[in-house]
Amino acid sequence: MRDKLRRRYQVQKEVIRNGHFEGDIALSELARLGELLYPGEADRPDRKIAVEFEFLRNECEIPMIAGRLQTSLELECQRCLQPLETPMKLDFRLMIDASDELLRDSSVDTLYSEDGFIDVFEVVEDELILAIPLVALHENSDCNEHWPDSSAQSEAAVKDNPFAVLQQLKTTD
Ligand SMILES: [Zn+2]
């Protein structure tokens, strides 16, 4: 059975009862993520992140949170500065308060509780921040007609300025 999602959880209690939760988080609740999106996007009331997760113990008896989230975010295309709708769907799996020793031998990351409590909104926000592309670009490379990417222009630029090559390396993905 799944319970309604809330923000804070007492880890030990939820691990013992194998708490399983599901619900939506409003994008407007995630301020750090909002700063990385298309301007104004984070304030739209219809933007939500669907989340479900459970608390469990791994084979070393360490508490864990495991779940998945799904949403669609509007990023800013770095070529034309227009919005770029980006569907996101990802699984997450984290130990809670694992020791450094355990972390060394594990491919799974840990999060640290605060007096035994974790904030699931922060977990979801961190996962999304890590997952969104560093540089968002429309698939259609012609989305900005003023973008100087025709080969003729690039060659001319290289001839005029050898550092343009470096510049291109920096700006292309
Ligand atoms: Zn674009």
pLDDT value of residue 75: 95
Domain match, 165 and 83 both = no
Same domain, 151 and 169: yes
List the domain range (segments joined by +) for residue 91: 3-139
Residues 80 and 162 in one domain: no
CA of 164 to the centre of ligand 1 (A): 22
- Clarify whether residues 24 and 76 are in a common domain: yes
Q: What is the mean pLDDT of the chain?
A: 88
Residue 2 has pLDDT above 90, yes or no: no
92 and 171 together in one domain: no
112 in the same domain as 58: yes
Q: Which residue has the tokens 């670009």?
A: 137
CA of 47 to the centre of ligand 1 (A): 21
pLDDT in tens, 158-168: 555 656 656 66
Q: For residue 66, which amino acid is it?
A: A
How far does residue 40's CA lie from ligand 1's centre (Å)?
17
153 alpha-carbon distance from chain centroid: 36
Between the CA of 73 and the centroid of ligand 1 the distance, in Å, is: 15
| CA 147 to ligand 1 centroid distance, Å | 10
DSSP string covering 98-167, please?
--HHHHHT-SS-EE--BTTEEEHHHHHHHHHHHHS-SS---SSTTS-TT---SHHHHHHHHHH-THHHHH
The tally of domains found in the chain comes to: 2
For residue 14, the one-letter residue type is E
Ligand 1 centroid, distance to 80 Cα (angstroms): 4
- Whether residues 157 and 100 fall in one domain: no
pLDDT tens-digit readout, 50-98? 999 999 999 889 999 999 999 999 999 999 999 999 999 999 999 999 9
pLDDT at 146 over 90: no
Same domain membership, residue 109 and residue 76: yes
Residue with tokens 């009331």: 45
